[in-house]
């Protein structure tokens, strides 16, 4: 079963990290992702630029309306994702907890959502 692990983190806490701390965090993530790939549980995963680089697009009355910033202002922000393949939801939640441990973001959370599978079009 495939799941999306949606990583939410407190951007303020991330930006207040020193360069060394951030490099160390990225290094931990790389090592950890490599391990997950070796185990065959991780299909994909990406960190995103912070929400200050986001643009929200809506079409209303035939016009494209752009807004500077993310879809919703939340206390913690979507900062990246993983696509994992595992036996069941329980395993996916365990993987999410493991990833949260690696990220060490004080107010972070990882949402686990099953992926909707279609038979190939």
Question: 106: how many CB neighbours lie within 10 A of its CB?
Answer: 11
Chain contacts with another protein (rule: CB under 8 A):
2, 4, 6, 8, 19, 26, 44, 46-49, 51-60, 63-66, 68-72, 74-76, 78, 80-81, 83, 89, 92-93, 96-97, 100-101, 108-116, 118, 121
Nearer CB in complex with another protein: 38/62: 62
Shortest distance in whole angstroms from residue 39 CB to another protein: 18
List b or e across 25-40, with b for residues whose CB sees 16 or more CB atoms inside 10 angstroms.
beeebeebbeebeeee
Nearer CB in complex with another protein: 38/55: 55
Shortest distance in whole angstroms from residue 97 CB to another protein: 4
Shortest distance in whole angstroms from residue 38 CB to another protein: 19
Nearest to 74 by CA among 107, 115, 38, 40: 107
Rounded Cα distance, 67 and 60, in Å: 13
């Amino acid at each position: 079963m495939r799941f999306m692990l949606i990583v939410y983190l407190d951007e303020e806490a991330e930006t207040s990290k020193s360069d060394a701390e951030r490099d160390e965090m990225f290094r931990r993530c790389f090592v950890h992702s490599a391990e997950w790939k070796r185990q065959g549980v991780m299909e994909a995963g990406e960190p995103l630029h912070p929400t200050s680089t986001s643009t929200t697009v809506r079409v209303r009355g035939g016009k494209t309306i752009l807004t500077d910033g993310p879809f919703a202002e939340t206390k913690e922000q979507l900062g990246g994702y993983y696509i994992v393949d595992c036996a069941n939801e329980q395993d996916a939640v365990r993987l999410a907890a493991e990833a949260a441990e690696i990220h060490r973001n004080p107010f972070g959370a990882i949402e686990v959502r099953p992926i909707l599978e279609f038979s190939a079009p």
